[in-house]
Structure 1
Amino acid sequence: MKICIVSDSHDRSELLAAAVAAAKEEGAAAVIHCGDVIGPHTLRALLPIGLVVHVIHGNNLGDPLALARLAASSEGRLHYHGSDARLDLAGRRVFVVHYPDYGLAMATTGEWDLVCCGHSHQAEIRRVRNVKGGHTLLVNPGTVAGIGAPATYALGDLHHLEFTIRPLRHG
């Protein structure tokens, strides 16, 4: 299963939708948003694209009640998890949090196959040695809004646990 990972959209719905549409064209079946959505209107642009979206809120909280209402009315396409998420996608255990230091800490536990984070606006993919003697993949897709850094997202395959950072090409 291919997934799209985005973060820090900061109300830039057109850029967020462009990244998700591009990922869908490359076979993504789901989206993970690592926070700083701000308002629910930012996510509305994703609903017509048709992918299942898992979202947390990050430090720019916006309106969590409105996010929860949008999720409730999305016919199962949008899942709002609050401050972090514990997901089972395609048989992989995935942890989603906004802060990179928290993400790194969770990766070291060895309880997760993939940990996704955001906040820094710096895209990075790294294999983290965990306490169980293995490695956990830590993915920060950067900022899809292009604030303080190029607009990027991550696309990857959960089966193979292979991810790449993609520049957002928008018109």
Structure 2
Amino acid sequence: MSSHKPLENFLPTETFELETGLSLVPRVKLNLTIHRADKSITPIGDWELKRSLIDYLKTSHSIAVPEEDIIIRKYKDLKKRKREDPVARGNLFVRDLGFLTKMLGLNEESEVKVVDKKFLEWRKGIVERMDGMELNLEGVKFRLSIEVTASDDYEGMRKEWEEISAFGARG
């Protein structure tokens, strides 16, 4: 590795340089599920939804997210779906985590375990604040469900692994 720092000493906000010239850039990936909050069947405007999320993140959390880091996939046949079914799914990527350095009071001397804990608390907090929020897009109301992807939920994966290793042998 071209970085002289041991891997376990890297902060979750730092870029890790590989010998090949490639870099591992930290990011937060959140899964989005969009439901109707009203009884309408108006199609979802993904551009309006993206702009609304970008504005919310910028004003409420001081996070700059480019439009291409929000991916929305609409479901087809909205008229045939059940009212409680989602109208769209997607992902939100926060790739520039530099703002966390100031916000969490991080520096080169910060202890990695403390930084990891602060980072996980921040991520949990933003998920809790955004989960269930209502978006009013041109008079049509949507409800947003948000969660950390399973592959990024290290604590959840660790618990699942412990359960499998403890109880898996019993069938």
- Give the structure-2-normalised TM-score: 0.23
Q: Which has the larger radius of gyration?
A: 2
Structure with the higher fraction of residues in strand conformation: 1
Structure with greater helix percent: 2
